[in-house]
A and B are shown apart, each in its own frame.
Chain A
Amino acid sequence: MTSDTATPAPKRSLPSMSLLGPVIALLVLIAIGASLNSNFLGAANITNVLARSAFIGIIAVGMTFVITAGGLDLSVGSMAAFIAGLMILVMNAALPTLGIGVPIILLGMVVAIVAGIVAGLINGFLITALGIEAFIVTLGTMGIYRSLVTWLADGGTLSLDFGLRTFYRPVYFDGILGISWPIIVFALVVILGEILMSFARFGRHCAATGSNEHVAHYSNVDVNRTRLLTYAMLGLLVGVATIMYVPRLGSASASTGLLWELEAIAAVIIGGTVLKGGFGRVWGTVIGVLILSLIDNILNLTDFVSPYLNGAIQGVIIILAVILQREAKAKG
């Protein structure tokens, strides 16, 4: 008995369904899309899908860390709207002094990033230092940011100065080698996120905290700091996503970023991260985001099923994903 204890386990013959499930679902969707519409696999459509996925995707990567560490953030959609509104206001206000040029764009970006980090820190502080449930705190801030942006826009729309908008547009529409900026930024965020989650100490601390915070505390993991950092990081990424989003429409209103939080959370869960915390994978989240965007895309490209049923199909997929997770757990 003693002798066989040190031998490494035999390689698993098949990766589990929770691992393969999302990948298979994605491949099936791609096959369906390709068979229904010949433009589906064209460069234009792929770029379109990826660029649209980028906003939710960037946020969802941050959400993966929050959920893995046992938290939740419902405020990201309103936070994005608020940051967009703030950015537009600040840039419009600075226009007379700075004029149209790179400095004013940089100013806008700094505002977005700082605002994102601060908003994330506020969420994190209320949750960790005051010990209020993440669900409650972020439900509250979700309402607050949404209302603030409505107030800033006075119930209407905040629009970026027309000249500025033209100058800023390339941040969404241009790129390098035909790959647009949102896609490049998304890819970078994913790569960094994956490294942080799977190979860095921080990711391990997140998983430990989400898995059992008492054990983590007794193991010298600073649980509160870890949680706080996940919210701050998510806030930062919301800021980054907003930077990419504002040039697309050049405006912000009460309906900006509506339901983004649900899409981000759904992508995370579809990707195999456990909603209760303790286990997360960033690459899974990417697959989750792509699955959600492809459903939308396919429904728009074909008139097979009404695009109005998009939400219903997404809902079914989310529930299926959780069932798969549970079965994997029961077996393991």
Chain B
Amino acid sequence: MGDAVTTPPTLALRDVRKSFGPIEVLHGVDLELRAGEVLALIGENGAGKSTTMKILAGYQGATSGRILLDGEEVTFASLHDGEEAGIVMIHQEFNIAEQLTVEQNIFLGRELRRGWLLDKKKMRQLTRDYLDRVNCDVDPNARVSTLSNSDKQMVEIAKALSRDARILIMDEPTAVLTAQETDVLFDQVRALKKAGTAILFTSHKLGEVAEIADQVTILRDGSVVHDGPAAEVSEDEMATAMVGRDVSDLFPDKPDTPPGEVMMRVEGLTVPGYAEDIGFELRRGEILGIAGLIGSGRTEAMEGLCGLRPASARLVEIGGKAADIRRPKDARDHGLCYLTEDRKLRGLLLGMGLRVNLTLQALDRFGGFLIDKAAEERALDAAIEAFDIRAGQRDVAVGNLSGGNQQKLLLAKVMQTEPSILIVDEPTRGIDIGTKQQIYAYLRNLAAQGHGIVMISSEMQEVIGLSDRVMVMRSGRSAGILSGDEIGEDAIVRRAMGVGADMNGKVA
């Protein structure tokens, strides 16, 4: 590889602007991607990272400005032109056909043929090879809809790697991955880099940016505010440049006062096929973290508790009284509310507006038989203010919001039910560091006001930084509850993996 500074950029943006309707979201972005380099594009939710990437890959046109490929101006009339130029993009949102199998997805649109017929044998073979490259052991014949989110992402990555891209663009590829999977991905990224691929990626986990990026470009509100070698900026400096204020104090202080009385007691909670004999107590004013590997049954157990899927329990006691929760409505009646980890498929109606989404879960609070739309509008005003939801236009379909802003809306939506016990599942997935800080403060504040909070999280830092106690789950069972000074990475990992268990990462 030649000296990075003298190689011409493989792909570059010059003064690119982009408007949606009357609103300009990119105000003249310059960006340079070089062969054999990893460029991290970071910024707050809604800063315009995904939009920039889509313009680079030809998914969306720019309103003005130029795209240079090897120094020559190009216009991508369509997606196809981008692919012709050797650009492959992994989207922030899954872009795979749920009803097709893994193999069909990987070869979608470029199926191998022998004569008139599909060459199934060869495709099967190659699919296995691609999946092996990313240590993913899903069955090539499995329907994508049956995979976990992290496996879906690994399939997407395998698919992208299989295209031998000259330029690889990844929009938050690690948001749904475990630490081990992220390591696997980064090994592949390093290999591609060596082979001369130009790589652009974004992540809200700044540690990852520091680890893998050569160059960093920071966007704020649609403009580049920093551009330079990754080695020259610390994580704190990145965060400050993104958000415009200091965010080194990510987690609020834990309270010194002991928590209040028991709000909820669960014993022998069983969700067939996913979780068995789970028991825990939740006290007023505390945040109970639930840690564990992806697939350890955390989500399913809590969904079962809230009546979202079939489950049984020896005892569920809320406020000292036995509670029989069979349907989501029962949970609501007991002041229990669950925030889903999957905002696209279970959280938000992407085709509808903010107002409809905000009030859907608590529609009975907005009028009786008829809906009081004025009250809904007021609630939306309040939510936009309280959760700092940046929507540009107010009547935009929720699917057009940036990922992080969707997450904020989801949190606002759940809070409309005024729960006394809130169960949040991966509450900060895809959220920028500034907003994370706000959400942590918000949750801590809720607890301080006398709510009980259960937080499922795969982010170790978050579990340790925010929880008063931590329940660790392994293979559908509770592997112990930690409190106070016991809470630490080692203790959690040991329980999540099983002491002395083989360390191959994932538990089915």
Contacts and interface: CB of A to CB of B under 8 A. Distances in A.
Nearest to A201: B363
B164 interface: no
A6 B394 CA distance: 8
Most B Cβ at <10 Å: residue of A1, A4, A8, A215: A215
Nearest to B47: A1
Contacts of B221: 1
A332 B373 CA distance: 23
Contacts of A200: 369-371
Contacts of B352: 207-208, 211, 278
B246 interface: no
Contact of B327 (A2, A4, A222): A222
Interface in B356-388: 356, 360-364, 367, 369-371, 373, 381, 384-385, 388
B323 interface: no
B389 interface: yes
Interface string B238-268: 0000000000000000000000000000000
Contacts of A281: none
B363 A204 contact: yes
Interface string B263-304: 000000000000000000000000000000000000000000
A201 B369 contact: yes
Given A199-B371, A218-B308, A6 B345 contact: no
5 contacts: A200-B369, A201-B371, A208-B360, A215-B346, A278-B351
A208 B349 contact: yes
Given A211-B352, A220-B328, 19 more contacts: A1-B390, A2-B390, A4-B392, A5-B391, A10-B22, A195-B370, A201-B369, A201-B370, A204-B360, A207-B356, A208-B356, A208-B360, A212-B345, A215-B346, A216-B349, A218-B346, A219-B361, A220-B361, A278-B351
Interface string B211-227: 00000000001000000
Given A200-B369, A215-B348, A2 B388 contact: yes
B397 interface: yes
Interface in B324-346: 327-329, 332, 338, 340, 345-346
A214 B346 contact: yes
A6 B384 contact: yes
A326 interface: no
A200 B372 CA distance: 9
B227 to A, nearest CB: 20
A7 B327 CA distance: 38
B304 to A, nearest CB: 13
Contacts of B393: 9
A332 to B, nearest CB: 7
A215 B384 contact: no
B465 interface: no
B372 to A, nearest CB: 9
Contacts of A279: 351
A279 B397 CA distance: 13
Interface residues of B, number: 44
A215 B349 contact: yes
Nearest to B23: A4
Contacts of B394: 7-9
B397 A199 contact: no
Contacts of A221: 360
Given A217-B328, A218-B328, A218-B347, A332 B390 contact: no
A218 B329 CA distance: 10
A4 B361 CA distance: 27
Interface of A: 1-2, 4-10, 195, 199-201, 204-205, 207-208, 211-212, 214-222, 278-279, 332
B351 to A, nearest CB: 6
B84 interface: no
A196 to B, nearest CB: 9
A215 to B, nearest CB: 5
Nearest to B367: A201
Given A2-B388, A222-B327, A214 B345 contact: yes
Contacts of B347: 215, 218
7 nearest A-B pairs in the assembled complex, by CB-CB distance: A219-B361, A9-B393, A9-B394, A219-B360, A218-B346, A220-B328, A211-B349
Given A201-B364, A204-B356, A217 B308 contact: yes
A191 to B, nearest CB: 14
A93 B363 CA distance: 48
Nearest to B22: A10
Contacts of A278: 349, 351-352
B308 A5 contact: no
B395 interface: yes
B350 interface: yes
Given A6-B384, A9-B393, A211 B351 contact: yes
B345 A220 contact: no
A278 B350 CA distance: 11
Most A Cβ at <10 Å: residue of B346, B364, B384, B391: B346
Nearest to A221: B360
A240 to B, nearest CB: 21
Contacts of A7: 394
Most A Cβ at <10 Å: residue of B221, B338, B340, B371: B371
Contact of A199 (B327, B338, B363, B370): B370
Nearest to B332: A220
A226 to B, nearest CB: 12
Contacts of B345: 212, 214-215
A127 B383 CA distance: 37
Nearest to B345: A214
Nearest to A276: B351
A332 B353 CA distance: 12
Given A5-B391, A212-B345, A332 B397 contact: yes
A223 to B, nearest CB: 10
Most A Cβ at <10 Å: residue of B46, B338, B369, B384: B369
Contacts of A195: 370
A257 B489 CA distance: 70
A75 to B, nearest CB: 27
A5 B369 contact: no
Contact of B392 (A5, A204, A214, A332): A5
B434 to A, nearest CB: 12
Contacts of A199: 370-371, 373
Contacts of B391: 5
Nearest to B366: A201
Contacts of B327: 222
Contacts of B360: 204, 208, 215-216, 219, 221
B376 to A, nearest CB: 10
A63 B361 CA distance: 25
Contacts of B348: 215
B385 A212 contact: no
A9 B400 CA distance: 15
Nearest to B309: A217
A199 B346 CA distance: 24
A7 B364 CA distance: 27
B242 to A, nearest CB: 13
A211 B332 CA distance: 22
B339 to A, nearest CB: 9
